[in-house]
Amino acid sequence: MITSLILASALALVPTQVLAADNGLAITPQMGWNTWNKYGCNIDEQLILDAAKSIVSSGLKDYGYNYVIIDDCWQKNKREKNKELLPDPTKFPRGMKALVDDIHDMGLKVGIYSSAGTLTCGGHIASLGYEETDAKTWAKWGMDYLKYDNCYNQGQSGTPKLSYDRYKAMSDALNNTGRPILYSLCNWGEDGPWNFASTIANSWRMSGDIYDNFNRADPACPCETYDCLLPGFRCSVMNIINKAVAVGQKARSGGWNDLDMLEVGNGGMSHEEYRLHYTMWAALKSPLLLGNDVTNMTSETKEIIMNKEVIAVNQDSSYSPAVRMWVKGDQQMFSGNLANNTQVVILLNAGDKAAKMTATWDDIWFYSQPHVDASKSIEVRDLWKKQSLGNFTDRISLDVPAHGVRMIKFMDSAQSS
């Protein structure tokens, strides 16, 4: 009896063994809302509470957006005597725990931000060398998510091993708290996180920062391919898509390529462009983190971010990112396996004029063995029009708007024997 009591209490002291990519989190890409794209450093408790309330009242929560993430600029710029971080008392007068409790009471989860450097990108105190202390503090506040940036890293990057070690320190510290905390690594694709992060993190940014623009080439974002040295910032939607396709196959359940937070609703793109942006983030299995003002949304914004069928592609249990099957000038075609022998296909037209685009069964099922038979008649559903387009055989041709997409689902691609 005594022995079993001792054993039971000893076991209770052993922290639950959770490993970042294997911590049971982000089985499908995480969804939520983040302060940065819309508000930058202008954040405070009231703004975050108002957003959380709107995520519930607008119904966004029911669509799956359940993480409320506080990005940079929440910190007080001095550690306490015991080395703990505190929030800026003017922005968060009740401290973090009270805010987190309020958001938890709404049935939502909460995320926080820091950098694997001496300072964050906004110049605030960060966590390099303080991993254990900070992870414990966040766990104490009830945090469910950490976005972990790359600024001021003291030269501890440049090889995958240096980056891995620096990010693993926080992964271990989070796991040591025993609290499941989704670990979202944000090193902008430096040193190829798709190769080194999948055993330590739930997602990793694969590009420099997005900005609210469809395809403008900007010198601040010099990389056009994923393997370039200066990830930069002000990366357009098309720039990020063209980099993401190359690393798509590195994603897996529990570890996702993060294409950065969404800009839908922030005003810099047309409705078609935002639809394309959201479609590709969903199909390439990026986390879907809203970055707009959720307290005041137009019906056009809601139409995009509240489309159940598109969200279902992102959250599908096949966990496979769509693959780019071809590029012809401004046109691209993507095909992705979904559960139950269904298939998503995207016809993307980055050109300035509407175009008719055609995808053949051979294009779509190029990698399936055997190919789906060209004579097979398959029902096709339009996921944005939310209606069936009828049955098709061998190929499908559709009009695709300028800077736009058609996102369709093949309802039965089982190969007949």
Positions touching ligand GAL (CB under 6 A) are: 36, 71-72, 113, 120-122, 149, 151, 186, 209
Between 186 and 276, name the residue whose CB sits nearer to ligand GAL: 186
Under a CB-based contact definition with an 8 Å cutoff, are residues 403 and 273 in contact? Answer: yes
Per-residue b or e along 216-250, where b marks 16 or more CB atoms closer than 10 Å to that residue's CB: eeeeebebeebeeeebbebbbbbbbbbbbbebbeb
Rg (CA), the chain: 22
Residue 269 Cβ vs ligand GAL, minimum distance, rounded to whole Å = 18
Residue 289 per-residue DSSP state = E
Contact 34, 264 (CB under 8 A): no
Our CB check for ligand GAL shows the closer of 143 and 345 to be 143
First to last CA, the chain: 62
Please tell me whether the peptide bond between 321 and the residue prior to it is cis, using omega within 30 degrees of 0.
Answer: no
CB of 71 to ligand GAL, least distance (A): 5
Residue closer to ligand GAL, measured from CB, 147 or 381: 147
Closest CA to 113 of 197, 44, 23, 36: 36
Q: 9 exposed, middle or buried (CB, 10 Å; 0-12, 13-18, 19+)?
A: exposed
The set of catalytic residues is: 149, 209
Taking the complex as a whole, how short is the minimal distance between the CB of residue 147 and ligand GAL, in angstroms? 6
| DSSP 3-state of 48 | helix
Regarding beta strands 342-349 and 404-410, do their DSSP bridges make them parallel or antiparallel, or are they unpaired?
antiparallel
Smallest distance from the beta carbon of 2 to ligand GAL, in angstroms? 53
Token pair 């090193």 is found at 187
Give the nearer residue to ligand GAL in terms of CB position, either 36 or 194: 36
Strand 256-258 versus strand 203-205 pairing type: parallel
Q: How far is the CB of 211 from ligand GAL (least distance, A)?
A: 11
Task: Check residue 252 and report its DSSP letter.
Answer: B
**Minimum distance from residue 157 beta carbon to ligand GAL (Å):** 13
CB-wise, 88 or 412, nearer to ligand GAL? 88
Strands of 67-69's sheet, edge to edge? 256-258, 203-205, 182-185, 145-149, 109-115, 67-69, 31-34, 288-290
Q: How far is the CB of 330 from ligand GAL (least distance, A)?
A: 28
Report the alpha-carbon distance of residue 266 to residue 292 in Å, rounded.
Answer: 6
Q: Closest approach of Cβ 172 to ligand GAL, in Å? A: 22
Cβ-contact 204, 197 below 8 angstroms = yes
Q: Residue 71 or residue 131: which is nearer to ligand GAL going by CB?
A: 71
CA-wise closest residue to 127 among 63, 188, 180, 171: 171
CB 409 within 8 A of CB 283: no
In sequence order, the β-bridge partners of residue 146 are 112, 183
Residue closer to ligand GAL, measured from CB, 191 or 316: 191
